[in-house]
Amino acid sequence: MRVLVRTFQQQGDQRIATERGLIAERVTIGRGTDQDIYTPDLRAALAHAEIIPDRRGPLLVAKTANGVWVNGTPAQNAKLAPGDSIDIGRFRLEVLGVGGVPELILGYEERRSQAAEVQSRKASFQTRLNQTGLSLRRLAWGLMALLLLVGLVLPLGMRYGAGPAGANARDRAVEQAGNPVDDSVWLSGPVSSAHRFFVEDCSACHEKPFQQVQDSACMACHKDMKRHSDDEALLSHPAFAGQECTDCHHEHNGMDGINAQSPTLCTDCHADPDREFASAKLPPAASFASAHPEFAPRISSFDAKAGKFMFAKQRQPMAKLRETTNLVYPHDVHLNPKGIDAPDGKKTLACNDCHQADSRGVSFEPVSMEKHCASCHRLDFDPDDPDRELPHGRPDQIQGVIRDYYYAKALQGGVRDMAAPAVVRERRRPGDALDAGSTRSALAWADARARQTMVDTFERRTCHYCHEVQRTDDAAMPWTVAPVNLDEHALDGARFDHAAHRTEDCGSCHAADKSKASAEVLLPELASCRDCHGDADSNTAVPSGCTMCHGFHIADSHQFGPAKALPAKHPKLSKAEPAVAPATKPVPAAVPEKRP
């Protein structure tokens, strides 16, 4: 095999090549001085490798078990092709040509001196963290860019770029929900369930950037929200004058609605209302468990002259309170556990036989004579005809009904009444005419009988049983029956949901089974509520904040919205005069009166 070895040497700036030819069976390479190509590097073996001719071309065969590095990988043998490089310690052989004449041209070069080799080896060690590809600067700038993009630029683009189109918040929210890029990373907390349907449309509430949510955003939907009072004097007080929705209602605080739960919102004023609102004459309420006014039910009294009921709040122990209903109704008799006499035998009554829950279960349907009383309290007036009954609730018609009944009876004849005149007693054929004398005598009997029955009905039996009946001088209407008050909503200042208390027995709050008169007020005392209900932060009783029973938006007419121009200091306030009618003075009822 003929081999040309081209030795390169660096001299100054120049790279000088010298050539020598070899003719041998094989070319030996190694650290031994007898080798054809001498590589004096301690890491090389004395006989490191050989190049032998093969029928496919020159073949490199390693003579050491460590192998030879060909093109950067250790090999035991390798077919040589132009461009291959063989590293032996700090020496490099490069295949420059193969297959011509000579059969092999090798480049030979000492890549670096022994000292440089050591330095290069040393430099190849990674001994510091910053040599491992970690860079504080790159990490810092990269993370900063990422966070600014995701946390600021994209959401800002959503806000000021082409936002979702739609006529209302819901449409825009639906449109935005389909957009994979959104600004939900800015959402500071879960939106209340009621507002979720437009949660994607931030601008529905946040109308202007860098401006707090305004009432106008809330009022866009909540149009009819009432204020706390109808008294403009009170509303001009600083506590109310600048009031905004967001003072009490904070969004992004969870699913359970945005109504403020803290009792201090109420008790800040109501713990000592006289300090700022003396004119309202409100009792102090600082805590349900320990400092809450006793109940003040609306109690009825009857103005007989005007024929109207008057209502006034009265704050007294329930046992002392008496109201006027103009109805004779002893609860204890009706609730007698042994039962009461009914037309068809003994009957035991329960509360819900008369007090039937309304459709929402919050309160009760009104008690009605026809539905609840009439099956026992029959309105018959003639023992001979027990199915004939008087109309209820129409005392003006009763005289006519009874007279007509007896006139017809007298004129027909056949009445079995020994005291009646003969014309009334005798049976007649239909169509037989009576003479004037007989007719007069029959009608006189009927008049007397009707009078007697009416006295009985109004003063002894039927009406008298339950109603306040008064005899009058008016011949057209000789008796009047006083109107009846059956109004049950006696606690106006609070909500009470009977359905929520369904598991309780009626008697645990209402002592009806011991009540002898309808004038007794059967509402429970505050103390009986406190058996179960405690303060808002109670751990041992039902936590009951003010808003469990009381509302804030309780004005009848005054609404939130564009504020009416009120004087900064209302004259009424400065004089501290009663701004509302004193609560104890009876005021005419606005409720429709019920008549017997």
Residue partners of 473: CB distance under 8 A and separation at least 6: none
For 134, counting Cβ atoms within 10 Å of its Cβ (0-12 exposed, 13-18 middle, 19+ buried), the class is exposed
Nearer to other proteins, 155 or 395 (CB): 155
Q: Is 116 in the site for other proteins (CB under 8 A)?
A: no
Q: What is d(CA 379, CA 460) in angstroms, rounded to the nearest whole number?
A: 13
Q: Which stretch binds other proteins (CB under 8 A): 58-66, 216-224, 358-366, 385-393?
A: 58-66
Which residues lie below 8 Å from residue 49, measured CB to CB, with a gap of 6+? Answer: 28, 29, 30, 60, 61, 62, 63, 64, 68, 86, 88
Per CB under 8 A, 461 contacts other proteins = no
CA 525 to chain centroid: 31
Does 73 bind other proteins (CB under 8 A)? Our answer is: no
Query: Shortest gap between Cβ of 530 and other proteins (angstroms)?
Result: 23
Residues in 374-433 that interact with other proteins by CB under 8 A = none
Q: Taking the complex as a whole, how short is the minimal distance between the CB of residue 93 and other proteins, in angstroms?
A: 18
The neighbouring-strand residues paired with 594 are: 484
Please pick, from the candidates 152, 319, 333, 448, the single residue that binds other proteins as defined by CB under 8 A. Answer: 152
Segment interacting with other proteins, rule: CB under 8 A, options 11-19, 120-128, 317-325, 369-377: 120-128
Contact predicate 334/349, CB 8 Å: yes
The first and second tokens of residue 26, run together, are 């094989």
CA distance 353 to 331: 13
Asked whether position 516 contacts other proteins by CB under 8 A, the answer is no
Strand 57-62 and strand 49-54: the pairing is antiparallel
Q: Of the two residues 69 and 496, which places its CB atom closer to other proteins in the complex?
A: 69
Going by C-beta distance under 8 Å and a sequence separation of 6 or more, which residues neighbour residue 46?
30, 31, 32, 35
Q: Which of 187, 411, 522, 566 binds other proteins (CB under 8 A)?
A: 187
Q: Does 202 engage in binding with other proteins (CB under 8 A)?
A: yes
**By CB under 8 A, residue 210 contacts other proteins:** yes
- 551: contact with other proteins by CB under 8 A: no
Nearer to other proteins, 148 or 362 (CB): 148
155 binds other proteins (CB under 8 A): yes
Closest to other proteins by CB, 208 vs 308, is 208
CB-nearer residue toward other proteins: 148 or 319: 148
HEC profile of 31-50: CCCCCCEECCCCCCCCCCEE
The DSSP annotation for 348-375 comes to ---GGGT--B-TTSSSBPPP-IIIIITT
Minimum distance of other proteins from residue 550's CB (angstroms): 16
253 forms part of the interface with other proteins (CB under 8 A):
yes
Confirm or reject binding of residue 150 to other proteins (CB under 8 A): yes
Residue 181 binds to other proteins (criterion: CB under 8 A): no
DSSP per-residue string spanning 395-423: HHHHHHHHHHHHHHHHHHB----TTS-HH
User: Which residues does 14 contact at the CB level (< 8 Å), separation at least 6?
Assistant: none
Nearer to other proteins, 133 or 592 (CB): 133
**Closest CB to other proteins among residues 104, 158:** 158
Nearer residue to other proteins within complex by CB, 82 or 151: 151
Total residues at the site for other proteins (CB under 8 A)? 62
Minimum CB separation of residue 27 from other proteins in Å reads 19
* Secondary structure element (H or E) that encloses residue 227, with its range: none
- Considering only 14, 33, 65, 341, the residue that binds other proteins (CB under 8 A) is 65
Question: What's at 214, amino acid-wise?
Answer: Q
In a 10 Å sphere around its CB, with 0-12 CB exposed, 13-18 middle and 19+ buried, how is residue 86 labelled? buried
Count of beta carbons in the 10 Å neighbourhood of residue 291:
14
CA distance 468 to 488: 20
The yes or no reply on residue 173 touching other proteins (CB under 8 A) is no
| Minimum distance of other proteins from residue 235's CB (angstroms) | 21
Q: Pick the closer one to other proteins by CB: 133 or 178.
A: 133
- From the list 129-137, 410-418, 566-574, 579-587, the region that binds other proteins by CB under 8 A is 129-137
> Which position among 212, 290, 540, 557 is part of the footprint of other proteins (CB under 8 A)?
212
CA 165 to chain centre: 28
Q: Is 367 in the site for other proteins (CB under 8 A)?
A: no
Q: How far apart are CA 207 and CA 159, in angstroms?
A: 11
The SS3 of residue 120 is helix
Q: Tokens in use for 489?
A: 């909503």
Residue numbers 233-252 binding other proteins by CB under 8 A = 248, 250
Decide if residue 265 touches other proteins (CB under 8 A). Answer: yes
Work out whether 136 is an interface residue with other proteins (CB under 8 A): yes
Closest CA to 378 of 517, 190, 369, 185: 369
**Identified binder of other proteins from the candidate list 16, 17, 181, 185, rule CB under 8 A:** 185
Q: Is 209 in the site for other proteins (CB under 8 A)?
A: yes
Q: Is 169 helix (H, G, I), strand (E, B) or coil?
A: helix
Residues that bind other proteins (CB under 8 A): 31, 42-47, 64-66, 118, 121-122, 125-129, 131-134, 136, 139-148, 150-152, 155-156, 159, 184-190, 202, 206, 209-213, 248, 250, 253, 258, 260-262, 264-265
